[in-house]
Amino acid sequence: MASARGTLPKRRRALRAPAPVVRASRSLVVAFAVVLAFAFGTAHAEDLLQIYREALANDPTLASARASWEATQELVPQARAGLLPSVVLVGNANGEHFYEKLHTDPSITTTQNFPLANYTVSASQPLYRRQNQVALDQAKQSVSQSDYVLSSARQDLIVRVAQAYLDVLLARFNIELTESQKAAVSENLAQAKRNFEVGTATITDTNDAQAKYDQIVAQEISARNDLDNKIATLRSIIGRSPGELKRFGGAFEPQLPTPNQLESWVDAAVRDNSQVRIAQANYDIAVLEVERQRAGHYPTLDLVASFNQGYAGATPSIGGSFSNIANDSRTGVIGVQLNVPLYLGGSIESRVRQAVANLDKARQDLEGARRGAQLSAQTAFTGVTSGVAQVNAFDQAVKSAEVSYESTRVGLEVGVRTNLDVLNQQQQVFQTRFNLAQSYYNFVINGLRLKQAVGTLSDADVEEINRALRG
């Protein structure tokens, strides 16, 4: 990739079909058709951008991160409530029944019913609560941290989708190459059998071709299993099985990153990597937590007020001498309330020690995140720079393998090479072509990971890769 924003490698040349095996014209047609299908895809294939948009809507990992982000936004209103007024209304209504009997001559019985009702409105306004103020600062830090967490989850989704998408393409290409080689070897096997029947070849040629054919059949089974696994991985992200996927239009010439200096990327990663930002926010929150717990030693001062209104009444007694009684009362109070923690059993000191230990943990986690970011940037940078050389090397290896195959085929015609030599060289052509495709896909993924390491990976990078696809 050319920069932090990245540029796609320039197109160099289309993938070429492997050279034909001797006496295998029909296999040539099959192999060429397969590679053309790889190069041009299908008219209605899905592209990377479509898959990514589905992943944004359906990936459970991102959905979980998004829900966590929304929940975290409520921390600030909750913490701010500790600094705002609070008003509480409490009301109750009761009925009291009184019964008394005096065993005199004659006896006296008293029965009384007392309806009771009252309500109290109380309000308080914190004037000084250091712990609540620090809690609000912590909440703001947590909200800021949640942005980095969500951004990290989205960047991780980009890499996962691209990796899964390219893995499916590579697995399908592997099957296509295997089928092409299988068709070529099958034709070679049939020709070897015909030559043996007419006496122009030995049974060795037939056995060699049969062994190579059986080996390819086993490889095809393994390749199809690998494709099923790669499709399952992509399905776990978007929630459905993907259809035909658009492929790259041909081979490309990769470019080195800009700047092409490891130190620049490492410095950016240590500073801007999402995991570093998350760990830094955790450290800042831990610092505030120590302050909050130490504030438990501080006094608190509140403005308080209350109003109470009550009613009590009585009904006439049966057999007694009471008359109707009613009582209506009102009470209002306003003032300040001071609380000074003198001794709470050592709980405050214990929580301070706990917060200090957690602060040390956060400090070590931050250092670990920085080292991890440094490693990620270095690994991805090396992957990009070595990927450029690897793509170029495999591209040249394909040319050399094709030339070597042609030479081996000619050697077979003049009697200095065996049919097994031709089969082995043909397999080398197919394997080298697969390695070329794999090295280019690895280059693309490492480019994304390099941007992820420095925290700049975005949807624009998906769109840029998508423009290199064709339906």
Cβ-contact 162, 444 below 8 angstroms? yes
Residue 326: CB atoms within 10 A of its CB come to 9
Pull the structure tokens for residue 42. 């299908």
Q: Determine the pLDDT at residue 39.
A: 44
Greater pLDDT, 389 or 35: 389
Is 1's pLDDT higher than 80?
no
Instruction: Determine what percent of the chain is predicted with pLDDT higher than 70.
Output: 87
- What residue has token string 């070329």? 436
Instruction: Report residue 276 CA to chain centroid gap.
Output: 16
Question: Which pLDDT score, from 0 to 100, does residue 252 have?
Answer: 67
The confidence score (pLDDT) of residue 367 equals 98
Q: What band does 407 get if pLDDT is binned at 50, 70 and 90?
A: very high
Residue 2 has what pLDDT?
42
**Model pLDDT, residue 116:** 87
Residue 18 burial (10 A CB sphere; 0-12, 13-18, 19+): buried
> Domains in the chain, please, with CATH?
10-81+130-298+344-470 (1.20.1600.10), 86-128+299-339 (no CATH)
Band (pLDDT 50/70/90 cuts) for residue 194 is: confident
- Burial class from Cβ neighbours inside 10 Å (0-12, 13-18, 19+) for residue 208 reads buried
Work out the mean pLDDT of the chain and round it to a whole number.
87
**40 pLDDT tier (thresholds 50, 70, 90):** very low
The distance in angstroms from the start CA to the end CA of the chain is 23
Say whether pLDDT at 448 is over 90.
yes
Q: What is the mean pLDDT of residues 81-92?
A: 96
Q: Is 255 helix (H, G, I), strand (E, B) or coil?
A: coil
Do 377 and 266 contact (CB within 8 A), yes or no?
yes
pLDDT at 38: 45
69-77 average pLDDT score: 98
| Residue 447, Cβ density class (10 Å: 0-12 exposed, 13-18 middle, ≥19 buried) | buried
pLDDT of residue 268: 97
R_g (Cα) of the chain, nearest Å: 39
Please say if the pLDDT value at position 256 is more than 60: yes
Whether residue 56 has pLDDT greater than 80: yes
The two tokens of residue 446 are: 């490492």
**pLDDT tens per residue across span 264-320:** 999 999 999 999 999 999 999 999 999 999 999 999 999 999 999 988 876 555 454
For 103-158, the pLDDT digits (tens) are 887 888 878 787 889 999 999 999 999 999 999 999 999 999 999 999 999 999 99
Reduce the DSSP state of residue 254 to 3 states and report it.
coil
Using the Cα atoms of residue 129, residue 134, residue 137 and residue 142 in order, give the sign of their dihedral: negative
Asked if residue 161 lies in contact with residue 239, where contact means CB atoms within 8 angstroms, the answer is: no
Residue 330 has pLDDT above 60, yes or no: yes
pLDDT at 244: 93
Q: Would you state the pLDDT for residue 158?
A: 98
pLDDT score for 452? 97
> Is the pLDDT reported for residue 27 higher than 60?
no
At 250, the pLDDT band (50, 70, 90 cuts) reads low
Over the stretch 203-227, which tens digit does the pLDDT of each residue have? 888 888 899 899 999 999 999 999 9
Our measurement of the distance from residue 302's CA atom to the centroid of its chain's CA atoms, rounded to an integer in Å, reads: 46
Percent of the chain exceeding pLDDT 90 equals 66
The span from the CA of 62 to the CA of 87, in Å, is 40
Name the more confident of 196 and 388.
Answer: 388
Strand partners, 102: 108
pLDDT at 220: 95
Beta carbons within 10 angstroms of residue 313's beta carbon: 14
- pLDDT for 130 equals 96
Q: What's the whole-number mean pLDDT along residues 336-364?
A: 96
Confidence of residue 325 (pLDDT cuts 50, 70, 90): low
pTM of the complete model: 0.83
- Please indicate whether residue 339 or residue 36 has the higher confidence score (pLDDT): 339
